[in-house]
Structure formats: structure tokens, C-alpha cells
Amino acid sequence: MKIIVLNGSPKGQMSVTMQSVHFIRKKFPRHELKIFDISQRIKKIEKDETAFQEIAEEVRSSDGILWAFPVYVMLVPSQYKRFIELISEKGAKDAFKNKYAAVLTTSIHYFDHTAHNYMNAVCDDLNMKYAGSFSAEMHDLLKEQERKRLSLFAEDFFEAIENSVPTSKSHVPLIYRDFDYIPGDAENKVAPGSKKIVIVTDSGDSQTNLGRMIRRFSESFSEPAEVICLGEKNIKGGCLGCIHCGYDNECAYHDKFSEFYNTKLKTADILVFAGTIRDRYLSWEWKQFFDRSFFNNHVPSYAGKQMGFIISGPLGQIPGLREVLEAYTELQQANSAGFVTDESGDSAETDALLQGFAERLVRFSGKNYVRPRTFLGVGGMKIFRDEIWGKLRFVFQADHRFYKKHGMYDFPHKNFKTRITNAAMMLLTMIPAFRKEMYGKMMKQKMIEPHQKVLEKE
């Protein structure tokens, strides 16, 4: 069989993910695995019609497609995202239709599930036959057990194609509302005081719903908010995955992206990101922004700020996108102040939502309110903490210095009181009578005792 491997790593053949593809190739020599370096060659694929059509034709004449890529900022790399958009823009969807598809990623398992869900949805939208996905940790290929697992995944994919195994869709098509938002006047202007408000958008078009929402939102304030269009920032390209930034946050590009980020975004009090849904995410330009922000590595850069999103399109039908944006906000240690969309299909309601959003952002900012993180932020941070403490420390030295300085290596074993309590209690529970008491009445009482002491003092 001929399998087309669409390589999403910007590192091309120097990719960790591709080593797993080469492993599959060695294990199944009877199949041809033809690799196309999509992300590394995206500029050519975008501009040169022949280059794009060559890939489309190979896809058309293939038996199956393997989407193989590294997870980048909870999704696919921005260059790969651009390719996915090009499939629709260049009218090549029919080449993918009814092809068997599988996803193979490498990552550190930080929001790999959102990347997989996204690709599953993309395949469903392309009417492909989605046969499954495999999320390898970036060092998994070094372990025999994991190599066996990878072989089984590949075998299952090939067998699905050979036996025309039926597949089901996990995502129903998105329904777009036909609605032109006509903003009303902002009558009660919100005074931001000394708070600096920055709105970042990927579109300078004021005649779209997004453009009109941005205008209505900024008019909610008595002082103008700064609106920054990513397209005007001359960003040279997507993240190259070179990790040049790991030592001291210096990006390999010299296009002033870091300067823009440090001077405009890190200095704001209120940050609002605005974009339009494109496929199952925002645009590739937004993805490029998130990927390039990786020069900060795994360090929160918006601590204490208010963050929110203005989105045009069916966000309510894409819970994965909402999750990614919430997780991004929590990781930045910012307050997730909410989302406003044009999904209601009602201009007056959208006006009210934007007005309320403006008021909430300023109110929260004035009170320095940051709501507690959920599993998204807490769980995510623990993955980073363990990785930077462990295998990735010498690579991400800037992270290590920051984590040490800010007490982010908060492993439970550092807490002596907990250690002593655990040791004492484990000894005591060896006594049957104590054990009976502890797992009986004592448990509930002891759990609330410290809380009750706090309540008494209040």
C-alpha cells in the first residue's frame, strides 16, 4: 500500500516524530511510506501551485494518510495549520475524501489530547475515515515496550485500510449562523483609570463581525484601547522548534516579535485576543502567534493580568478550542475573564455582552482578581515542573532559573510537616484500634477541623 506521511515538524527530517515513522517503515517494509515535509516547506507549498498540487495528487492516489507531527502549544504547529487551511482554500478537499487517516504525534503529553481531537475533527470535516491516533512521549521510541505498542498501532492502521474497516465520525459538521452584527452606540463608557488595555487581532478588516465587535468593545471605554493587528507586525515565520530560546529566551528570528511581546503585551493590564474561527481553531496567524510566544518557554508571562477573548464563529460547537484558550490563560497565571462571541445572532445581545465584558475586565483588574486555576492550569504546570526538574532541565535553563527563583519546584516531598505527619500516621495505623477510629469517626472530623479554626477566627 502507499501511505502518505504528512510531516508536521518544522525541523523536517531532523524531527523526533519522523524517527517513529522510520521505525514503522522498517517494521512494515511491504508498505511504501512516502514522506512530505509540510511544515518545513510551507512557504513554497503556499506560493508554488505545483508544489501543493504534487502533494494533493499523491494524497489522491494513496491508500491512507498518516498525519505525523509534534504537538505545538496544544495543537499542530502553525505551518501545519496553514497547510490544513490551504486544503480548503485551494479546493483540494476531494483528494482527502474517503481516505483512511491516522494521527501520530510526539510530545511531552501536555494537551496532546486537544491536538488529537483537533486533527480528528479536521479529518471528519474532510470526510476521511479516521482510524485512530497514537500519542508517543518524545523519548518513547527508546523503550522496547513502546516500540511494540507503536508497531501494533501501525499494524492496526494498515489492517483497517486493507480490510476496509468501517469508521465513525466523532464530530458533526459546524453550523455557521448567517448574521451581520450591527453594533449600537456605547452609552455608558467604562473608565479604565490607569489600566492599559490591549486588544490583539489577526484581522484589520473593520467590515467583518469581528471588526465590528472589536470597535464596539473598544468604544465601551472612556479612553481608547490599543488595537494591535498581528498582520502588521512583520512576523517572519512560525516557530522552527530549534530551542535556541531555551538558554536565555532569545529567539533565533530577528523580526522583533519578542520585542513586541515584551513591550506591548507584558506591560498591559488587560489583554483581549480577538479572532475568527477557521476550521476547528482560530487562524494560522493566531497559531503562529502562540507558537512564537514559545520563546518564553514554560514560564508564565501574563501573571496577574486580565485576559479574555472576542471570537466570531461557532465557539460553542468547538469545546476543544475553548479548553485550549482557557488552559493558555491559566498557564500564564492570568485571570480568565471570559469569552464574547457573535453566536447569539442578535446585535443588541452582543452589544450587551461586550459592554458587560468591558466592565468586568476593568472591575477585576481594579481588584487584582485572579480566579483559582482548574485542572487545566494545575495539571499542566505539574507536567512542566517535572519535565524542567528532570530531563529537560539542561535544555530549558531559563525555565529552571525561573522555577527555582519562584518556588515552582513545589514537590510534596519538600514539605517536612507533611512528611512527619505521614510517617507518624502510618505508624499509628498499624495499631488496629487506632486504625478503626481513624477510618471511622475521626476522618470526617479531622478533615474539617482546620477549616473550622479559620472560620472561628473570621
Ligand X SMILES: Cc1cc2nc3c(=O)[nH]c(=O)nc-3n(C[C@H](O)[C@H](O)[C@H](O)COP(=O)(O)O)c2cc1C
By the 8 A CB rule, do 82 and 278 touch? no
For 98, left (φ over 0), alpha (ψ -120 to 50), or beta?
Answer: left
Q: Which is nearer to ligand X, 15 or 341 (CB)?
A: 15
* Shortest distance in whole angstroms from residue 320 CB to ligand X: 13
**Residue 103 sits in the site that holds ligand X (CB under 6 A):** no
Among 40, 62, 79, 107, binds ligand X (CB under 6 A): 107
Distance of CA 312 to the CA centre of its chain: 19
**CA 332 – CA 377 distance, rounded (Å):** 9
Of the candidate spans 105-113, 181-189, 347-355, 404-412, the one that interacts with ligand X by CB under 6 A turns out to be 105-113
**Angle subtended by helix axes 375-389 and 397-405, to nearest 10:** 110
Helices (H), 16-143: 16-27, 42-47, 49-60, 78-89, 93-96, 112-125
Q: Which is nearer to ligand X, 214 or 245 (CB)?
A: 245
Cα-based distances in Å from 105 to 122, 132, 182, 257, 340: 15, 12, 43, 28, 32
Q: Which is nearer to ligand X, 211 or 246 (CB)?
A: 246
Please name the amino acid found at residue 169: K
Among 73, 103, 199, 325, binds ligand X (CB under 6 A): 73
Of the candidate spans 24-32, 72-80, 311-319, 450-458, the one that interacts with ligand X by CB under 6 A turns out to be 72-80
Q: Which is nearer to ligand X, 11 or 81 (CB)?
A: 11
By the 8 A CB rule, do 106 and 136 touch? yes
Q: Which is nearer to ligand X, 83 or 110 (CB)?
A: 110
Which residues, 216 to 245, sit near ligand X by CB under 6 A? Answer: 239, 241
**Residue 41 sits in the site that holds ligand X (CB under 6 A):** no
**Residue 92 sits in the site that holds ligand X (CB under 6 A):** no
Q: Which is nearer to ligand X, 87 or 138 (CB)?
A: 138
By the 8 A CB rule, do 96 and 64 touch? no
Count, residues near ligand X per rule CB under 6 A: 22
Q: Which is nearer to ligand X, 251 or 277 (CB)?
A: 251
**CA 379 – CA 53 distance, rounded (Å):** 42
Residue 364 CB contacts under 8 Å (≥ 6 apart), including other chains: 306, 335, 337
- Per-residue binding string, ligand X, 279-298, x by CB under 6 A, is ------------x--x----
Among 4, 5, 6, 11, binds ligand X (CB under 6 A): 11
Among 66, 71, 307, 381, binds ligand X (CB under 6 A): 71
* Shortest distance in whole angstroms from residue 121 CB to ligand X: 17
* 3-state per-residue secondary structure call for 201-251: ECCCCCCCHHHHHHHHHHCCECCCCEEEEHHHHCCCCCCCCCCHHHCCCCC
Q: Which is nearer to ligand X, 1 or 16 (CB)?
A: 16
- Which residues of the shown chain bind ligand X in the complex (CB under 6 A)? 9, 11, 15-17, 70-74, 106-112, 138, 239, 241, 291, 294
